[in-house]
A and B are shown apart, each in its own frame.
Chain A
Amino acid sequence: MHTSSKLTKEFTKKWVKGLQICCSSKKDMDVLERKKKIKLCADIALASAKNATTSWSIALISEAKKNDENEILVDNLLGPESRFKQQKIIRQMNSCHKRVRSKKILKKSCSISQRMKKMGPPKSNLAAYIAKRLVKKRTQVLQRLVPGGESMDEFSLIKEALDYILSLRVQVDVMRNLANATEVLNQSNSSNVFD
């Protein structure tokens, strides 16, 4: 897909850059730590490859920034041109918190009021009611999956999920490519050694 190739390139560049920064700091980590670092690098690289245009990428970056030790990594990856974007991200972060809190309060009050008048609707159109409940549950699950999803309404959630799926695919592709390449190289290496 030619359209995602640009994203792939961006992501790969940033990921490699991030990995370089990572491994320059520490040596000798065990596998779990390494894996976490790699994944973190990949996530941040992916989010910054979108250049903070989408809401989930902003959420990812803001979450990563909360951890102090990742700050340098994030800043480097985001790049010098994104000073303005950083402001945007910080602003979005704050507004997200408020939105999340107010939404939670709203939801609680809504659920309470719904429970009050719950007796009526279910009997009239049971099927639709059940369907709605199912959809609601699933949208909740989706909100939890997509980063930054709690502060989105259903409509933008779907769009964010679309974005997220596409970029996750890119991420998996690149990672697999890298792993495959290392395997092939190692095989050729070992065969060269034996010759």
Chain B
Amino acid sequence: MASSYLSKSKHMIMQSLKSKKVLMSIIMRHTSFVTNSQFCRPFHIQNYADSSVALSRSFGSIYCERRLHTATSVSNKSSTEAPSRQELDFPGGKVKFTPKLIFTSSSNNERTRCYRVLDEDGQLLIDSDSLNITKELAVNMYTNMVTLQVMDTIFYEAQRQGRISFYLTTIGEEAINIASAAALNINDFIFPQYREPGVLLWRGFSLQEFANQVFGNKYDYGKGRQMPIHYGSKKLNYITVASTVATQIPHAVGAAYSMKMDKQYSCTVTYFGDGGSSTGDFHAALNFAAVMEAPVIFFCRNNGWAISTPINDQLRSDGIVVRGKAYGVPSIRVDGNDALAVYSAVNDARKMAIEQQTPVLIEALTYRAGHHSTSDDSTKYRPVDEIEWWRADQNPVTRFRKWIETKGWWSDETESEHRSNIRKQLSQAIQAAERVEKPPVADMFNDVYDVPPKNLSEQEALLRKTIKKHIHEYQSDVPM
């Protein structure tokens, strides 16, 4: 469990710890000592023993262990001691020494391998029995992927026609959305970024509910307070999308901690992109989750682009998967366009997270086949043939379709029937949502606090009075 980073011998600290700066300088001094010493020289150990700070990490125990004693005893016994020790008994575990002056390279020779079980032609690369996917599940996953694709296309068009103000598509990441959702349980809390409406779709959010949100009408669960695509559903355990990037990552850790305290058999799952992994929040969240042993799945959708920033301008590590190791978090890289691989990986990760009470990092390699949003034209910063290649050859929807067709579970007829069905439902939902009233004035002032304070009630009363007095200056369809 989380424990303090200071030892019990803290006389010096007591006096000077009014300032955080002093604490930081103590920690800096300590860490510089660590990198400088290659040899076990008594002089250095004496310094270390005199230092008032011994950073220690205890596994399972609340109280810090007294590393200082071990360090001091070595220097005291130096006259009678055998030749130099092979390792240093350092907080966190023994560390072996080496006389070779070698820097670790910036990356491994070979990049971390990518887990994939279905190739581009829909051919299974492993024994199909080991997969555990029924026809019902596979067809359900596929139809949801198609629904997501059609929904995105039609809402995008609606924005272009000026019917909604903004939209953001998930084109190219349908497998990530649906397959990961399919491997989870409804009790697993979702902390999305914004490119995961498929998870909500899988859990039962209807096309009408999506339409109400993007139109911001009075049936919108967000009461017209958020931009389009900022969906959320308390019932479906999907936290409302926020515009802030990567803030959901530490939130997921905190909620996982809450589940841990309740001993619930569930985990939290948080999604973010390659860009989101650069934030301070990502760093703090992974570090914390490892220390707290929180049951959280960090799902990174590495789709190659953060608006116009390509991956090479975003980071120079071997993607995001290698960062897990830096924080002590088990990690895996998967082919994000392979629905079966995503499903298996999330399935296993969930079991690991809950049963071993550990965070897990999954990096799914994919491609943002659409523009960042309706405010973006990605042809301005990336080649059109690159986009086309990913849309065609690596398309997760067609890949999965090929597989279920070889199993005899799908056909051209069912395909066109399903697509036209969804298109019809969507256009009905959009027409209905467009006609519904906007939220009333009353919804402007509530939910700021649990109970509306007096000043807000006064402001609302004043606004109503003003509207009534100058009714001609307001639209006649202002709902009250």
A binds B: no
